[in-house]
Amino acid sequence: MSGTTAISTPITGDILIESVQLSQDLLVQIFSRFQQLPDLTLEKQHSINNWVSSLTMDVGNFVEITTLFTRLLQKRQNQTLTGARDSHIHLLFVMKGINSASQKGDLVALEELIKYELKDNLTQWKIDLIPQAKRLLSV
């Protein structure tokens, strides 16, 4: 017998369900962080840098967890979360841009990236990809 057979165990299912829920909780946390965005003025640069650092940590955790459950879905249940890979790639580029704009003090670029690129990407996860994962898991 060549290769391995993907087997879905109750433990794998639990990990998948918990990972999806955790990613949904992180999304709520990130969206609430958007409400805490300091005024984007040069006088608030220190606050902005701290805020961006916290945001980067939250988004990094979100990417790690969603990558984990998309890989587990593929490996253990042979199901694909359509659009997740492209969304992850775009999200990482957006975060790189946000960090760069923050370091350079480019507040216009920072605001554009946060308000449009980042929020749009995470909204896609909120309204499409997380519900899609739940449907695949029948949660």
Whether residue 7 has pLDDT greater than 50: no
Query: Rg of the Cα trace of the chain?
Result: 17
Contact 99, 91 (CB under 8 A): no
Residue in the block written with tokens 């909120």? 126
What is the C-alpha separation between 86 and 82, in angstroms, rounded?
9
What pLDDT band is residue 41 in, cutting at 50, 70 and 90? low
Domains and CATH numbers, the chain: 10-137 (1.20.120)
pLDDT exceeds cutoff 50 at 4: no
Q: What pTM was computed for the model?
A: 0.81
Q: Residue range 41-53: average pLDDT?
A: 78
